[in-house]
Amino acid sequence: MKGPPLTSQPAADPLLSHDIHTHTEFAPCAEGVTLEGVARRAREAGIRLLCITEHSRHLYAPEGGPPEGYRAAFIIPGFLDRQRSAGQWRVPQFIRTASAYRSENVWVGMEVDVDFDGELIIHDDVFEQLDIVVAAVHLLPERMAKEPRAEALTDEYIRVTCKALEKDVDVLAHPTRILKHTYVPVTERAIVPVLDAAAANGVALEINRHSLDPDDYFIRGALERGIKLAIGSDAHKLEEMADFGFARKVLEGAGVNPAEAGKHLFTPKRRRTLAHPQSVS
């Protein structure tokens, strides 16, 4: 890793123990974020584990995106294979560049997008290169409608999210974001199947600073089921890193004293050994 390593000392604030979701210069939606800047900010904040997790759909496109736009990964059959065979992807570059920072407490992963069938938008051999996998539902068919129908989108959310939770993933990012971004109520009907699926499959649920998601009602449901909570800044700007005021707010709203939050927090287990080289071609 460039620069001094992150601290290995126990965090005085348990919310600073890890940040499982950060972005870099490889994200077109990020502003002024770089790998070096993220690593430096993590050191300054005293974060003990930093996970670099770029959007998979962005990495399956050249800089500037594919001609069809970034939704292409969701709607064009064979898109991943097309991009890879044509060399119009940036996965190898991302893994090679991020791996220069890889260490015991800096992990290279991805925020892996989920398609309309609940499948992960990633090739198997790329998946095997990752230290951590954060799954994310960013788009649903009904979300693309001119006037999305709440009940139809809720049905899609349940189906797609629950299918994704059956995959070999570590964390579900911003669990109810897709509902909120479509102005669909986050109802008990929507979240109970997702909470049950996360509990059944041992997948942690993220408290996401960037999207301010989920709310304390959802967190209470997670705690009732013994689901671990992962802290993710989802930093698209450097100032978003180590700003866990939202996490404290929802934990307190769910009846958790943030000073005692450690017992509810997700402890990531690295998927690969540090000695194993990372490479994709």
Sheet holding 171-172, edge to edge: 18-22, 49-55, 106-113, 133-136, 171-172, 204-208, 229-232
**pLDDT at position 239:** 85
Structural domain includes residue 9: no
* CB-based burial, 1-13: b 16+ in 10 Å, e otherwise: beeeebeeeebee
The residue behind tokens 């304390």 is 216
Helix axes 188-201, 150-165, angle to 10 degrees: 0
Structural domain includes residue 5: no
Mean pLDDT across 177-203: 97
For the record, the structure tokens of 102 come out as 């890889």
**pLDDT at position 123:** 97
**pLDDT at position 16:** 67
Residue 57 has pLDDT above 70, yes or no: yes
> What are residue 158's phi and psi, to 5 degrees?
-60, -50
Mean pLDDT across 85-99: 94
DSSP, collapsed to helix, strand or coil, labels residue 265 as: strand
**pLDDT at position 281:** 66
CATH number of domain containing 225: 3.20.20.140
**pLDDT at position 53:** 96
Residue ranges making up the domain that contains 107: 14-264
Burial class from Cβ neighbours inside 10 Å (0-12, 13-18, 19+) for residue 172 reads buried
* Residue 231 and residue 20 in contact, taking contact as beta carbons nearer than 8 Å: yes
Helix axes 216-224, 245-253, angle to 10 degrees: 60
DSSP, collapsed to helix, strand or coil, labels residue 130 as: coil
Closest among 39, 104, 91, 87 to 278, alpha carbons compared: 91
Percentage of the chain with pLDDT > 70? 92
Structural domain includes residue 161: yes
Structural domain includes residue 270: no
Structural domain includes residue 271: no
Structural domain includes residue 231: yes
Residue 52 has pLDDT above 80, yes or no: yes
pLDDT tens per residue, range 264-279: 999 899 998 776 666 6
Structural domain includes residue 35: yes
pLDDT band at 6 (very low <50, low <70, confident <90, very high): low
Mean pLDDT across 100-124: 95
Residue 95 has pLDDT above 90, yes or no: yes
Mean pLDDT across 33-42: 88
Residue 56 has pLDDT above 80, yes or no: yes
Structural domain includes residue 38: yes
User: Residue 151 and residue 156: Cα distance in Å, rounded?
Assistant: 9
Q: How many domains does the chain have?
A: 1
pLDDT band at 231 (very low <50, low <70, confident <90, very high): very high
